């Protein structure tokens, strides 16, 4: 089991070299790391977006105002969560900080009707925009710092993905 975990999970994170145990036991880091999904050695952003799917499935049955409020709260609390996590890790926008991916995916899915097809397309579109970072996403990623900077590029990626997803409905 230890060999499998060593293959899938990084032993230390950030310049502070925090261990997975430290991250999982610190509430802000636990959230910032997407309930542990950001501990992944490879593609933590993709695993963070996967962690957003259960959050989406739990909230999608709310009226649109309720869903939007939850997505907004997750986005706004993400600013201090990501800032505190970056400070504790001693590294800005560390890849394991994936709360921003959770918020971005929820934004992607805000106005589309639920279907497995939309769930998958929303996932793919969000990941593409988050990875490729066309303008102004790349600009926000490079020029805006702090918790807002960590969150903003994913909020924009979620908005771009949402627009495309709505256009292909």
In the chain, where are the structural domains located? 2-167
- Supply the pLDDT for residue 5: 55
Considering the entire predicted model, what is its pTM?
0.94
pLDDT of residue 104: 98
Residue 7 confidence (pLDDT): 64
pLDDT for 1: 47
User: Which residues of the chain carry a pLDDT beneath 50?
Assistant: 1
How many whole angstroms separate alpha carbon 107 and alpha carbon 157?
A: 9
Report helix angle 146-167 to 64-89, nearest 10.
140
| 52 within 8 A of 128, measured Cβ to Cβ | no
């Amino acid at each position: 089991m230890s060999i499998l975990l060593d293959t899938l999970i990084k032993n230390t994170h950030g310049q502070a070299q925090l261990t997975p145990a430290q991250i999982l036991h610190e509430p802000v880091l636990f959230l910032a790391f997407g309930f542990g999904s950001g501990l992944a050695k490879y593609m933590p952003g993709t695993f963070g977006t996967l962690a957003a799917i259960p959050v989406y499935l739990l909230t999608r049955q709310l009226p649109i105002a309720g869903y939007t409020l939850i997505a907004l709260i997750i986005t706004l609390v993400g600013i201090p969560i990501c800032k505190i996590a970056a400070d504790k890790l001693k590294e800005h926008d560390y890849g394991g900080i994936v709360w921003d991916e959770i918020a971005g995916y929820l934004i992607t899915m805000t106005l589309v009707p639920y279907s497995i097809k939309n769930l998958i397309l929303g996932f793919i579109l969000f990941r593409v925009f988050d990875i490729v970072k066309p303008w102004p996403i790349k600009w926000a990623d490079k020029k805006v710092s702090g918790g807002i900077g960590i969150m903003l590029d994913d909020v924009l990626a979620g908005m771009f993905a949402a627009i495309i997803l709505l256009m292909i409905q």
